[in-house]
A and B are shown apart, each in its own frame.
Chain A
Amino acid sequence: MSTNSQLGNRKLIIGGFFCLIVIIYLCRLFYIQVIDKQYKLDAEKNAFRYMTEYPVRGYIYDRKGKLLVFNAPSYDLMVIPRETKGCDTMGVCDVLQITKQEYLKRIKKACQAPNSPRKESIFEKQMSAQTYATLQEKLYRFKGFFVQKRTVRRYPKPIAAHLLGYVGEISKEQAEKEAYYKEGDYIGITGLERSYEDVLRGKKGTQIAITDVHNKIIGRYMDGKYDTLAIAGKPLYCSIDRDLQEYGEKLMQGKKGAVVAIEPSTGEILCLISGPSYDPNLLVGGKERSRNFTKLFYDSLNRPLTNRALQGMYPPGSIFKLIDALIAQHDGLINRNTVFPCQMGYPPMGGKPKCHAHGGGKNLPGSISVSCNSYYSYVFREIVDQRKYPKFIDGYNHWRDMVKSFGPGTHLQTDLPYDKPGNVPSVEYYNKVFGKNGWRSNTIVSLGIGQAELLLVPLQMANVVAIIANRGYYYTPHSVKGVGIDKKLDKRFTEKHYAGVQDPTAYLNVIDGMQGAMEPGGTAYASRIKDVIVCGKTGTAQNPHGQSHAVFLAFAPRDNPKIAMACIVENAGFGGVTSAPIVSLMMEKYLKGKTDRLELEKRVMAADLIRGINVLGSGQH
């Protein structure tokens, strides 16, 4: 008892110690519950799963409202590996036509990070309708498997593959760079699908689900109060004429090359064909898609995936004479009555470049109609060596700037991705090749007739005709009339651009020459259209890869032009023989809605230059 009083103060120490510990704990609790916000964020990550709801991609229509691209349902086979106990494994292998090893490999992949045996992952992507049908019957035996519906692109007509482009899985790098996308998302990779991705894709929706520790969904957070709905993609109204595109592709079958048609008064692209083409339906779907893509990708001979209309850089050949004629008139160096001698070639250089027999020296329109090489060799030198510029290099740069004002050597800033600028060689380039002061205007005189290092893409060629058709201006070529229901169009496509030459007489003279080309004695007389005044210009582009490329430019009708076209067919020889009939038939179809030159149509379609069947023959000019 006595000891008790002696130790009395120890009760205070014990009680105080208990209180101290509790105070420390409360401080700690205050810190983690009230001050530190990290735990609240972690809790959100823990318990919520943000599920994406994918919007329907926008449809694409042609200029008359005909469907070009729509969506079709597609089926992914999903698996939750943990729940596959008691599954008819062999049955799954049978339906999908895979081996047991492949099955196990896929299950293993579905178990490994970032997948999880408790979470669903894709087992087979985009099954064919047939596979889905057989699978559907047996699905009850395939424990842990289920089918997820999504949509894929479909094309009612197998046309315009290059123009429309395709949709595919986003690359890892891009998914990391762009906040909107996650790995495994789909994105437009080429063509319109790429350039109008923002419009077509719509907006993803999010559902917030509450999950347990096994990541299993237990319910919806706040009954979906904070969920957002997916917003469907907007429709795209193309400026393409589906019938013209389809007809053109038929004419181009069996040929490498490109056809571009533009409505000059608006800059709208009416058709954009690259041959050889492929059925865009090949590049949708799961297994087939990758198989087809590989096949197309490795076809190095025909390179069907290359969009030649935008990426094929061709020497323009004689069509370039139009630009020379315009520039020389602008500079006041020649007029309608100017005549240059021609002796089956350009006399000052000993008959080079060569020319063909067209009956002596011609005036300006005549030189275009018969496509005189000698004439434009003179013209080119007149421009480069004109007195205004004491140094010929300045004259050359003047010529180059004027050429570029028509589009060649620049990106046209269209709404289609991956266009090439072509090439108009620079002074620096020639200084490098020939040495400084090592070249003169006659060294590079073949530029005047569209040869040498000069390169244009077919779209630029079409734009040049559109400028001539408009007598001096153009709208940036674009392939879309409007976006969304209200058909909005980017302002840059309604802005006029002016070429360096504005003199109406200069255009008149050139156009007269082009009309002459379609008349008796002209280079493309065979491709005239009844009752329609067509203005055209043939070209035969020599190139190091074999026979010349056949080029043809034309617009029609002469007054109030409705269509301007460029066509190039690789290794087809003289432009008047292969390219001019294609353009002529397409123009007639577009302007009149039909053609009665069925014999020509049949022959053009039958010509297969890839396999070497040339029923059209090649002219020798």
Chain B
Amino acid sequence: MGRNENSIFYGVDRVTLLVYVILVFMGWLNIYAAVYDEEHQNIFDTTQKYGMQLIWIGGAAIIAFSILLIDANFYTVFAYGFYGFFLLANILVLFLGREVKGSHSWYRFGKFGIQPAEFMKFATNLALAKFLSNQNIVVNQQFRLRLKDLIKNYKNTIFALIFIILPLILIIKLQNETGLAIVFIAFIIVLYREGLSVGFLIFGLLAAILFVMALVVTNTSGLLITLAVIAASAFLFIRRSRRNLIIVFLVYLSAAGVVLATNYVYNHLEAHQKTRIDVLLGRGTVDLKKEGYNVNQAKIAIGSGGFLGKGYLQGTQTKYDFVPEQDTDFIFCTVGEEWGFVGSTVVIFLQLFLILRLIFLAERQRSDFSRIYGYGVASVLFFHLAVNIGMTIGLMPVIGIPLPFFSYGGSSLWSFTILLFIFIKLDANRLLILR
């Protein structure tokens, strides 16, 4: 591809491009298998989802070319512009959008629908990259318990977090699209790469563990007492100073806060979210005909694939609609059933390879903006991969989140394409920047 500097493929990473094409093609094959029935066999039949997906893929190709055509500086310069534009689009969809399943999150153009929240991902990534490349969130590692120092140290972190949390809240609260919103958490990985304190991550991790424990144990007072005992016994290992006493006390207080907040948060979740958490954690009795149906059927489909799978188009579980949402969020069931363990491994490895390749590319960037953006792409893709496959094999709660390049749907395919190709363009340009 393009040795010529004027070619749009000049400097484009061919490995990434190849993996992208393979993934999209495999995705389409699996959508065909998931939707397949003997009556409709014409692959261009747009009344069927695989026919529609071909149109989306065509659109994605046009978008990819366009992105490569546009000057790389455009994305840097208009990073905040994109962010602002799509933030607005996500608010306006409430008034202009069509209601689908109780949430206003779709713009309709005749037969086609677009979800602006999908495009918020790359916009946020651009804005975050722009912000972080101008600032420096690496802070003095020295830990001091003075409010003035805390604010000084964490000012940039807080700003960065606002870039992330703003769309997250907007999409959860206004559009009621938990799956689309929760992806923004992935950008924490970017912050970590750019110097976010490890303590911050550990605190977040502990909070998550406590949350899960509080749900599983249910005996709140028992848990609080246990935590107190742990906190007290900490003094067996650390120096008993006034400063340490305050730190331990504060840690205990926040841990207790998490535990106490658990029930509040849980009770304020929506019913279907509650049951999804219950199903994952095995709380109470799970009725496999009702709340446990999706996950159980997904596991049955994947599990019945065996080592080599049942063969293409031979899957009985997915073909006959036992698995809900099998062409979108549960597309991996088709892979698991028809291609078996071998096929599943190939798909996961391809995805992982793409992500690791992106990290490799990001690290070779000379501009901070490109590197940060690259990490953003890798993180978002990984988050999708982990949550989507995790939920089909019962390791994650059910969250409506697509498998990149595989799941049916124009918005998600286009959004991933834009996300990826902006980075490919930035990477292709890396040699030009500092020439």
Contacts and interface: CB of A to CB of B under 8 A. Distances in A.
A34 interface: yes
Contacts of B316: 43, 46-48, 210
Interface stretch (B28-36, B258-266, B298-306): B298-306
Nearest to A11: B363
Given A7-B193, A18-B382, A25-B390, A33 B300 contact: no
Contacts of A39: 299-300, 302-304
Contacts of B300: 39, 42-43, 46
Given A43-B316, A46-B300, A46-B322, A29 B307 contact: no
A212 B322 contact: yes
B97 interface: no
Interface in A197-243: 210-214, 218
- The residue in A6, A15, A19 that gathers the most chain B C-beta atoms within 10 A of its C-beta is A15
Interface string B365-405: 00010010001000000100010011001110000000000
B356 A18 contact: yes
B303 A26 contact: no
B371 to A, nearest CB: 8
A419 B81 CA distance: 97
Interface string A4-39: 101100110011001101101110111011101011
A3 interface: yes
Contacts of B317: 43, 46-47
A115 to B, nearest CB: 15
Nearest to A36: B303
Contacts of B395: 24-25, 28
Nearest to B37: A218
Interface in B321-342: 321-322, 336, 340-341
B243 to A, nearest CB: 27
Contacts, number: 112
Given A4-B368, A11-B193, A33-B344, A28 B356 contact: no
A33 B359 contact: no
B138 A213 contact: no
A26 B347 CA distance: 11
Nearest to B336: A33
Contact of B322 (A24, A34, A213): A213
Interface residues of A, number: 38
B249 interface: no
Interface residues of B, number: 44
Contacts of A28: 393-395
A212 B195 contact: no
Contacts of B89: none
A151 B138 CA distance: 86
A40 interface: yes
Nearest to A214: B321
B352 A10 contact: no
B368 A29 contact: no
Contacts of A211: 320
Interface of B is mostly: helix
B218 interface: no
Given A14-B193, A213-B321, A43 B359 contact: no
Given A18-B355, A38-B303, A29 B193 contact: no
B322 A33 contact: no
B114 to A, nearest CB: 30
Contacts of A44: 304
Contact of B138 (A6, A34, A48, A212): A6
A16 to B, nearest CB: 10
Contacts of A18: 352, 355-356, 382
B247 to A, nearest CB: 25
Interface string B287-318: 00000000001011111111100000000110
Contacts of B138: 3, 6-7
B344 A43 contact: no
Contacts of A36: 303
A211 B321 CA distance: 10
Contacts of A33: 302-303, 305-307, 336, 340-341, 344
B393 A25 contact: yes
Main secondary structure of the interface of A (DSSP, over half): helix
B192 interface: yes
Nearest to A3: B138
A37 to B, nearest CB: 9
B73 interface: no
Nearest to A218: B320
B356 A15 contact: yes
Nearest to B323: A213
B348 interface: yes
Contacts of A10: 192-193
B343 to A, nearest CB: 10
B194 interface: yes
A22 B393 contact: no
Given A14-B189, A19-B352, A34-B306, A213 B320 contact: yes
Given A11-B363, A47-B317, A30 B341 contact: yes
B393 A29 contact: yes
A520 to B, nearest CB: 86
Contacts of B375: 14
B254 interface: no
A5 to B, nearest CB: 11
Nearest to A33: B341
A38 B296 CA distance: 12
B41 interface: no
Most buried by A among B300, B305, B341, B363: B300
B244 interface: no
Nearest to B362: A11
A43 B136 contact: no
Contacts of B136: 3
Contacts of B359: 11, 14-15
B226 interface: no
Contact of B194 (A7, A29, A32, A40): A7
A111 to B, nearest CB: 16
Contacts of B390: 25
B345 interface: yes
A408 B368 CA distance: 109
Interface string B395-422: 1000000000000000000000000000
A7 B195 contact: yes
Q: Which 4 A-B pairs have the closest CB atoms?
A: A39-B303, A43-B304, A212-B320, A47-B316
29 contacts: A3-B195, A4-B371, A7-B194, A10-B192, A11-B363, A14-B189, A18-B355, A18-B356, A19-B352, A22-B349, A25-B386, A25-B393, A32-B302, A32-B303, A33-B307, A33-B336, A33-B340, A33-B341, A38-B303, A40-B304, A40-B306, A42-B300, A43-B300, A46-B297, A46-B322, A47-B317, A210-B320, A212-B320, A212-B322
Given A15-B356, A26-B344, A43-B316, 4 more contacts: A24-B395, A25-B386, A33-B303, A46-B297
Interface of B: 136, 138, 189, 192-195, 297, 299-307, 316-317, 320-322, 336, 340-341, 344-345, 348-349, 352, 355-356, 359, 363, 368, 371, 375, 382, 386, 389-390, 393-395
Interface of A: 1, 3-4, 6-7, 10-11, 14-15, 18-19, 21-22, 24-26, 28-30, 32-34, 36, 38-40, 42-44, 46-48, 210-214, 218
